[in-house]
Structure 1
Amino acid sequence: MNPLENELDYPWGDALPEPGRAQDVAAGVRWIRMRLPFALDHINLWLLRDRIDGREGWTVVDCGIDKAELRASWETVFEQALDGLPVLRVLVTHMHPDHVGLAHWLCARWQAPLWMSMTDYTLARMWSGTAVPDSSVEGSGPAGGAAARHFARHGLIDPQAQDMIRARHAYYTGLVPDMPARFHRLMDGQDVAIGGHAWRVIVGYGHAPEHVSLWCPDLDVLISGDMVLPRISTNVSVFDLEPEADPLRLYLDSLSAYDALPEDTLVLPSHGRPFRGLHRRIAQQREHHADRLAEVLAACDQPRSAHDLLPVLFHRKLDMHQLSFAMGEAIAHLHALYFQGTLQRILGEDGVYRFQKV
């Protein structure tokens, strides 16, 4: 266990919802948990009791990836956790596959509308659909031909790794094969009426293009998505679609949006357990990234590529899925220092970017 977890309060301890069942965490708010086939092996999803146009039912927050096992888990939830009521609305925090993958299926299954931010909806539509066999397609995120070239510019030139990244060109479409054709737009500061309560939209940047969290003052509950997690650090990466991005600065700046929330807010994260101690956790995240940036800066006394810095930032063996995100995160830390003027960037004759202290 991360020792920093001891600074947080977990109201339900180690108790987790049973598969296919829901656990009440606040009035009209239920927690369900589904398995994922990754190192991060689960996602938390939320059911909010709702009433729309005179109909009683539920708003679903986040969906899971589109795999048969998760569809089956949802069917069990429909049978056992909805009190015989329908899904009235599907609300997605952001466009990553574990959050949006089954949105098209849930919306079609219940004839329910999708609610999402414009940027994340648009990117999810762009990356989803029929898999394209041409691995040179741009805008591939962590996998595909464009991703391989992007990571090669930052030092990942191992032929086997390059081949494996190119071969995963259908990674996103395999988990998000389709998207609803229409949606309702969520915007920062908007109040969404759910179950007789106003849920305030808090938009954050860096982890996803336009990530939505939901804060309900009446219930003192924050559905934080991936912006605030209790145990792990939120992934913040530079991918090929926006190669000059500075997402770590955007992410850290976004955390200030939670400053006005009470410290005893019940935080419902997408991964890990519900907890209290929001401001302590945000302080931990700021300290964590300050430490990582200091380590990166110290390592760049000589020219270093993002690939050179993987052992500095990650002290474990990385599989191919983790390697792509680790490369993206290493670039993000380098870019944060580069754009603030602490590092200079050098393009070598081999076509690789390296960074060195100014």
Structure 2
Amino acid sequence: MNAVIAADYSTPAAGEVAQIAPGLLWLRMPLPFELDHINLYLIEDDDGWVVVDCGLFSSATIEVWSGVIERHLGDKPVKQVVVTHAHVDHIGAAGWLCDRFDVPLCMTAREYDLVQEFLAELMEPSGDSQVARVEFFHRLGMNSKQITSLMAIYGGFADLFSALPKEIKRLEDGDYLSIGAHRWQVILSEGHSIAHASLYSRSLGILISGDQVLPRISSNVSVGPHDPDGNPLRSWLCSLNRLKTLPADTLVLPAHNFPFIGIRKRLDELIEGHEQDLKKIEQICSEPMHIMQQVERLYDRKLSIFDLLLASGECLAHVHYLMQKGCISRSLDNAGRYCYQIITADQDRR
């Protein structure tokens, strides 16, 4: 049961805005995915506006942004672009906005470095990186058709990014951004991405949460080809627990769904959801199972190829969490796939 309370704001239509507080605007950008929108925010400063997250780089995004700029910013320009993290729906149009207004891009250095490496590899793919990505998907248990489809998806990502600035203004955990009459604290989180930055204003009682806390869906926590042995779930759970120090009545402005109140209860729900998934995987792995076999048992619906990418990466994140706790072992089968099995008390004694 979801315990959050939706805040009393009308969802803005494309190209329109809703005022959350004086000098704080919410706009919604369309996405061409099953999750069909992203929430973006504008914070008014004395001499301009600060943008928080940007949308994809696409004709639809540029059209919406152009309408918002013309109708809702008055005589003040955009003076700074802040990106919570480097996923394409958040950063895709950032370079375009920075170039249009000749303003800096603010984000964490680790996110910036990661996306620059990712884009460089997409623009000039190396044989080694391609082989590593194919091997990663094969070891999950994917077939050749699935792997070919996923490689094509990766190849198309580059078109959704505008060229990023060569330098950034770095955001660090605990930094403060003074914007207008309020100070916004940078809160760094890991797991969904490598160094996600949320913004918290104590004076307003508002958290701009990006993808870190969402009211209806759980952010994807995946192991991917860039860090095939990573344990992002451990980092994610630590980050969720850290946010419990925020006041219970904090107004959360998320990147998807709707603004809400009830952050502590929502954090508990998210943690509980992962704990339940860990128990399911332990049950599934009573006998050796590769990741695709686990995904088939965890999801009772047909998954699109993109959903399969997210589901397999998240399943692997849970498996790695259990492996590093010493609960699951890994072996390589005759087909070159990693198989995972729960370590029983008898095995542990051996």
Q: 2:7 aligns with which of 8, 11, 18?
A: 11
Within a 5 Å distance, the mapping from 1:203-352 to structure 2 comes to 203-352=188-337
User: CA–CA distance in 2 between the matches of 1:11 and 1:345?
Assistant: 46
1:129 CA drift (Å) = 5.4
Partner of 1:154 in structure 2? 140
- Structure 2, unmatched stretches of 5+, are 344-350
Change in Cα spacing, 1:104 to 1:353, as seen in structure 2 (3 Å) is: same
SS in 2 for 1:189: coil
1:179 CA drift (Å) = 1.0
Partner of 2:33 in structure 1? 38
1:315 CA drift (Å) = 2.8
Change in Cα spacing, 1:90 to 1:356, as seen in structure 2 (3 Å) is: same
CA contact (8 A) 1:128 1:177 kept: no
AA of the residue aligned to 1:154 = L
Change in Cα spacing, 1:173 to 1:47, as seen in structure 2 (3 Å) is: same
CA contact (8 A) 1:129 1:179 kept: no
Identity, in percent, stands at 38
CA contact (8 A) 1:216 1:222 kept: yes
Q: 1:23 aligns with which of 6, 18, 26?
A: 18
- 1:24-55 Cα shifts (integer Å, max 9, x gaps): 1123211000110011110000000113xxxx
1:68 CA drift (Å) = 0.8
Change in Cα spacing, 1:174 to 1:129, as seen in structure 2 (3 Å) is: farther
Q: 2:118 aligns with which of 115, 127, 132?
A: 127
SS in 1 for 2:154: coil
- 1:177-205 Cα shifts (integer Å, max 9, x gaps): 42111110000111111112111110000
Q: Is residue 2:103 matched to residue 1:112?
A: yes
User: CA–CA distance in 2 between the matches of 1:187 and 1:43?
Assistant: 24
User: CA–CA distance in 1 between the matches of 2:160 and 2:257?
Assistant: 21
CA contact (8 A) 1:191 1:201 kept: yes
TM-score by length of 2: 0.94
User: CA–CA distance in 1 between the matches of 2:150 and 2:162?
Assistant: 19
1:89 CA drift (Å) = 0.2
Partner of 1:141 in structure 2? none
Q: How many residues align?
A: 343
SS in 1 for 2:69: helix
1:274 CA drift (Å) = 0.2
Of Structure 1 and Structure 2, which has the larger fraction of its residues in helix?
2
- Structure 1, unmatched stretches of 5+, are 139-143
Within a 5 Å distance, the mapping from 1:63-212 to structure 2 comes to 63-128=54-119, 131-132=122-123, 134=125, 136=127, 138=129, 146-156=132-142, 158-212=143-197
